[in-house]
């Protein structure tokens, strides 16, 4: 059996079975999703993290490229109770270390009790616990990955749905999932995907009907260019955001964000809409949240488990954001109408100002 070691922050080392060789380091997190492992592994929001699957068997329906959310695997390493050969071959082909045959219940419990933590992994015929500890020693905190946007963003602007007749969306790519773009294009939008550090002049050149800030990995404090874009456009252009996008929009409008203990990752996160009283199930993947939305945003939806903000609407501007992933890849389709709401926001006429009688 190939040796495999996982060194946790604090020095505890767990031994497992090596499935894909190599060394890695990153923030140790877990997902509670039963399915959708292809979408999760190709989600850019897992950049610089080590992903643990709480569901015991990963790979039981194979690997199909049409389910991928990006062009590569993003977690630095993968941990599971049992990985099928199909998934192992895929991970190995992209040089992503993988470990199984360990008790993932213990790993998840550690993360829930101690919070997301640094870890180091070593897998190979000659791997040792010291190799994993050496990786742990070199591991950076997530907030210290100041250039993480560059790792997941397009380098140049791309256009999707160029022949569509609907709204023009300027999407700032902080690590966007492909299904978000597909959801907008399917609604007849033309989507221009900009790098994470695009300037106002870049975006203004396409005369957007909506400025859309995508999901992505890491600390929203490290996406100042996107924050500046929102500040520049919000008075004249509707603004929308998903996941990291919600946090960036909040920061641009005077709100604050904070790191969560272990985040929300999975396809069974319950969200309460405060106006309708309806609870929907959502797909989520984030380790930061909006702590205070500020004076220009109103919390419209909350997480049932911990009351963190899941939806924000503008009180002074045309803004709509969601902390979860409405595109439902993977996960339930309860919230797909978010994309309709975004595009309707772009076409809605601003009511005339009310002038008081003398």
Q: Identify the H or E element spanning 107.
A: helix 104-114
Give the predicted TM-score (pTM) of the model. 0.96
**Which residues are bridge partners to 288 per DSSP?**
259
Residues placed in the known binding site = 45, 216, 218, 244, 247, 285, 287-288
Mean pLDDT along residues 325-344: 94
> What is the β-pairing status of strands 57-58 and 82-83?
parallel
Matching residue, tokens 């256009």: 159
Show the tokens assigned to 34: 């039963």
Q: Residue 3 has which token pair? A: 């040796």
Q: Is the pLDDT of residue 287 over 90?
A: yes
What's the pLDDT at 349? 57
Count CB neighbours of 39 within 10 A. Answer: 25
Any alpha helices (H) in 158-237, and if so which ranges? 178-185, 200-204, 224-233
Reported as type and span, the H/E element at residue 158 is strand 158-160
Active site residues: 243, 325, 327
Mean pLDDT of the chain: 96
Residue 31, burial from CB neighbour count under 10 angstroms (0-12, 13-18, 19+): buried
Coil, strand or helix at 194: strand
Provide mean pLDDT across the span 126-144: 98
Q: What are phi and psi of 155, to 5 degrees?
A: -85, -30
Q: Which tens digits make up the pLDDT trace of 198-232?
A: 999 999 999 999 999 999 999 999 999 999 999 99
Domains with residue ranges and CATH for the chain? 3-140 (3.50.30.20), 148-347 (3.40.50.880)
Binding site feature residues for L-glutamine: 45, 216, 218, 244, 247, 285, 287-288
Given a cut of 80, whether residue 352 has pLDDT beyond it is: no
Q: What integer is the mean pLDDT of 293-301?
A: 98
pLDDT, one tens digit per residue, over 7-31 is 999 999 999 999 999 999 999 999 9
């Amino acid at each position: 059996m190939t040796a495999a070691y996982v060194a946790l922050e604090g020095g505890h080392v767990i031994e497992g079975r090596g499935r894909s060789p190599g060394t890695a380091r990153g923030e140790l997190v877990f997902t509670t999703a039963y399915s959708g492992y292809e979408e999760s592994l190709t989600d850019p929001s897992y950049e610089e993290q080590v992903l643990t699957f709480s569901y015991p068997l990963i790979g039981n329906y194979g690997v199909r490229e049409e389910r991928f959310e990006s062009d590569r695997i993003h977690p630095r390493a993968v941990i599971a109770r049992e990985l099928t050969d199909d998934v192992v071959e895929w991970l190995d082909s992209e040089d992503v270390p993988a470990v199984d045959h360990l008790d993932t219940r213990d790993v998840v419990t550690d993360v829930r009790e101690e919070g997301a933590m640094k870890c180091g992994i070593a897998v190979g015929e000659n791997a040792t616990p010291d190799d994993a500890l050496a990786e742990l020693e070199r591991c950076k905190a997530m907030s210290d990955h100041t250039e993480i946007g560059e790792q997941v963003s397009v380098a140049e602007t791309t256009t999707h749905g160029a022949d569509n007749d609907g709204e023009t969306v300027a999407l700032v790519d902080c690590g966007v999932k492909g299904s978000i773009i597909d959801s907008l294009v399917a609604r007849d939008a033309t989507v221009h995907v900009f790098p994470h550090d695009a300037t106002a002049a870049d975006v203004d050149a396409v005369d957007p009907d909506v400025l859309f800030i995508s999901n992505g990995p890491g600390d929203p404090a490290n996406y100042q260019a996107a924050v500046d874009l929102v500040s520049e456009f919000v008075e004249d252009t509707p603004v929308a955001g998903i996941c990291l996008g919600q946090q960036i929009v909040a920061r641009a409008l005077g709100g604050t964000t904070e790191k969560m203990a272990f985040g929300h990752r999975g396809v069974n996160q319950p969200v309460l809409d405060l106006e309708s009283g309806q609870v929907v199930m959502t797909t989520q993947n984030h380790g930061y949240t909006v702590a205070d939305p500020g004076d220009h945003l109103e919390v419209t939806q909350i997480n049932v488990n911990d009351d963190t903000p899941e939806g924000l609407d503008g009180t002074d501007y045309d803004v709509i954001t969601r902390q979860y992933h409405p595109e439902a890849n993977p996960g339930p389709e309860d919230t797909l109408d978010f994309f309709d709401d975004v595009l309707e926001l772009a076409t809605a006429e601003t009511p005339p100002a009310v002038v008081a009688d003398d």
